[in-house]
Amino acid sequence: MRFFNSLRNSAFSLIGQIITILLGFVVRWLFIRKLGQDYLGVNSVMESMLMLLSMTELGIGTSIAFALYKPIDEGDERRVGSLMAFYRKIYHIIGIGTAVIGPLLLPFMRFFTKEAVDISGLNLIYILFLLNTVLSYFFAYKRTLLNAYQQSYVNSVTEDLFAVLKYILQAFVLIVYRSYIGYLIINIVCAVATNIIISIICNRKYPFIKKYKKEKLTKEDSASIKKSIVSLMYQKIGAKLVTGTDNLMISYAKLSLMGIYSNYAMVISIVQRVVYNVLRSVTGSVGNLMIEKDSNHKYNVFEEFVFANFCFYFLIAIGFSGCLERFIVLWAGDNWLLSPLVTFAVILNFFLMGMRQPNIVVIEAAGLFNKMRMKAVGEVIVNLVVSFLFLIVFEMGIYGVLFGTTVSMVSICIWWEIKAVHKYSLEKSAKRSAVKFICYFIVALLGCLAVYDVTKRIPMGGIGGLLVSGVVSVAIYGCIILIVYGRSREFRALLGRFIRKGKRA
C-alpha cells in the first residue's frame, strides 16, 4: 500500500508539473511581451521581500510534519488532532503578525524599486503580495496532514487544476487588459480557492480534526517540536536570507536587470524543483543506510550516491552550458540575454548547490541539524559581505552578487557539510571525499566551458540550433564520463546495479 501511495503521488505530481511548467512558460512569455522588464523586476523584488518576511514560519511546518508520522502510524487520532490544533493556532498567530509587520517594509520597498518611475500603484502591488502571503497562513497548513497520510496527490491535483485556471485567466488579463493588478488579483483568488478546497477535503477525510481542535499538546510533543524548530530555524533563515538578499541586491543594482535575471532564475528553479522531488524519494533509503553498523559498506554506498549525483548534475549543467542562452533567446528574445559571465555564474551556483545534495540528504536523514547552526550563520555573513563588496566596491554588477553566493558555498557550506557527515554519520575521514569533490568540480568546469565554446560555433539558430546544441552537449558529456570515470569503482558499481536490476525485471 505504501508503495502504491508513493507511486500514485509521484505520478500525479509529475504529470501536474509538466502541464503547469509549460503553461507557466507561456504566461511568462506573455508577461514579458505585454508588461516588460521593469514590471518583471518589480514582481521579483516583491517576491524577495515577502520571502524574507515569511521567515516568521521558522521551520514550524517541517517540525509538525515529522511529528505527525508516528501518531498516524499508531492510529492515535487524538494526538494527530492536538498537533493540528497547535499548528492552526501558531499559523494564525503568524498570519496576524505578518499582516501587522508587512506594511512596515513599505519604505524599504521604494529603495529597491527606485527606477520604476513608470509603474503606478507600487504600494497597492506590495499590499496584494502581502495579502497573498497572509491568507496562506490561515488555510494552507492542512496540506501537511494530507502529505503525512500519503495523500499528497490530493494536494497535487487540486493545485494543478487551479494553476491551469490561474494561468488561463492571467493570460486573458495580460492579452486583453495588460493589467498587472489584475494578474496579481487572479493569483490571490486562485491561491485562496485552492487552499479552501484542500481544507474542505481534509475536513471530510479526517473529521477528528474538528473533534480535537481544542486538544493541547503533550509535554513530549511540545518538547520534541521545540527542539526541531530551534534546529531547523537556522537553516531556514540562512537559506532565505541568501536567496532574498541576492535578489534585492540585484534589483538595487538595476531593476530591469532583476527582471531579465528572473527568467534565468525561473528556468533554474523549475529544474531544481523537479530534481529535488527525485532526491527526496531516496531520503528514507539513506536514513536506513545511516543506521547500518558496517561502516565500510555504508561509506562505499555513500560514495556511489555522490558519484551518481555528480553525473546527474553534471549532465544538467553541461546541458545548460550548451542550451540555456539559446533557450532564453528563443523564448524571450535577444533583449533578455545577459552577459556570458552571468550565465557562467548561474550554472556554477546550480552545480555547486546540486553537489551539496548528498550531504544535505544525509544531514536530514540522520538528524544532524544541530551541527549546522553556525554554518548557516557563517553562510549568511560571508554571502552578504562578499556580495556587497563585489557589487558596491568593485562594481561588478549582477554577476558580482552571484559570485558572492559562490564564495559563501565554497568557503563555508560545502566543507562544513562534508565534515559533519563524515564525522557524525559515516565515521570516516573527510579528506578523501574532499579531494574527490575538487576533482568532480574541475571535470565539470572544464566540460561545461568546452561545451559552451563548441555550441557557440554552431551556426544554426532557432529550435533546430537548440536541438543540435543539446545533442552535442550530451555527446560530449558521455565521452567525458566514459573517459574519466569509466574504470572507477563507483561507475562499475552503479553499472552493476543497473544490470542486476535489468535481469530481475
pLDDT at 111 over 80: no
At 293 the pLDDT is 63
pLDDT at 20 over 80: yes
DSSP for 242-297, written as a single string: HHHHHHHHHHHH-HHHHHHHHHHHHHHHHHHHHHHHHHHTTHHHHHHHHT-S-HHH
pLDDT at 33 over 60: yes
Of 147-156, 195-204, 354-363, 410-419, least confident by mean pLDDT is 147-156
Of 178-182, 294-298, 429-433, least confident by mean pLDDT is 294-298
Over residues 39-48, the pLDDT tens digits come to 988 888 888 7
| Contact assessment for residue 472 and residue 455, using Cβ atoms and an 8 Å cutoff | yes
pLDDT at 320 over 90: yes
Burial of 130 (0-12, 13-18, 19+ CB in 10 A): buried
At 2 the pLDDT is 44
What predicted TM-score, i.e. pTM, was given to this entire model? 0.80
Rounded to whole angstroms, the Cα distance separating 275 from 226 reads 30
Choose between 454 and 8: higher pLDDT: 454
Share of the chain above pLDDT 70, in %: 85
Average pLDDT over residues 44-70: 72
Give 341's contacts (C-beta < 8 A, 6+ positions apart): 399
Over residues 234-260, the pLDDT tens digits come to 666 676 677 777 777 887 777 778 888
Which residue has 533563515 as its cell numbers?
Answer: 237
- One-letter amino acid identity for 280? R
3-state DSSP: the chain helix, strand, coil percent, rounded to 5? 90, 0, 10
Over residues 90-100, the pLDDT tens digits come to 888 888 988 99
pLDDT at 345 over 90: yes
At 60 the pLDDT is 72
Strand, coil or helix: 36: coil
Other CB atoms within 10 Å distance of the CB of residue 359 = 25
Of the pLDDT bands very low, low, confident and very high (cuts 50, 70, 90), residue 6 is very low
Average pLDDT over residues 108-119: 72
At 292 the pLDDT is 61
Angle at 136 between CA 131 and CA 142, to 5 degrees: 165
pLDDT at 344 over 70: yes
At 323 the pLDDT is 96
At 246 the pLDDT is 79
pLDDT at 505 over 60: no
Of 106, 98, 194, which is closest to residue 137 (Cα–Cα)?
Answer: 98
Mean pLDDT score across all residues of the chain: 84
At 367 the pLDDT is 66
At 148 the pLDDT is 76
Angle at 338 between CA 336 and CA 341, to 5 degrees: 165
Over residues 384-437, the pLDDT tens digits come to 899 989 988 888 888 889 999 999 999 999 999 999 999 988 888 899 999 999
At 3 the pLDDT is 42
Of 316, 326, 381, which is closest to residue 349 (Cα–Cα)?
Answer: 316
Of 430, 493, 485, 499, which is closest to residue 301 (Cα–Cα)?
Answer: 493
Of the pLDDT bands very low, low, confident and very high (cuts 50, 70, 90), residue 491 is very high
Q: CA 477 → CA 250, 360, 426, 445, 446, distances in Å?
A: 32, 26, 31, 12, 11
Q: CA 158 → CA 176, 194, 254, distances in Å?
A: 27, 6, 38
Which residue has 485552492 as its cell numbers?
Answer: 194
Choose between 273 and 456: higher pLDDT: 456
Over residues 328-339, the pLDDT tens digits come to 999 988 888 999
Rounded to whole angstroms, the Cα distance separating 66 from 63 reads 5
Rounded to whole angstroms, the Cα distance separating 109 from 423 reads 44
Write out the three cell numbers for 352. 555547486
| Contact assessment for residue 380 and residue 351, using Cβ atoms and an 8 Å cutoff | no
Over residues 181-203, the pLDDT tens digits come to 999 999 999 999 999 999 999 98
Average pLDDT over residues 115-130: 84
Share of the chain above pLDDT 90, in %: 38
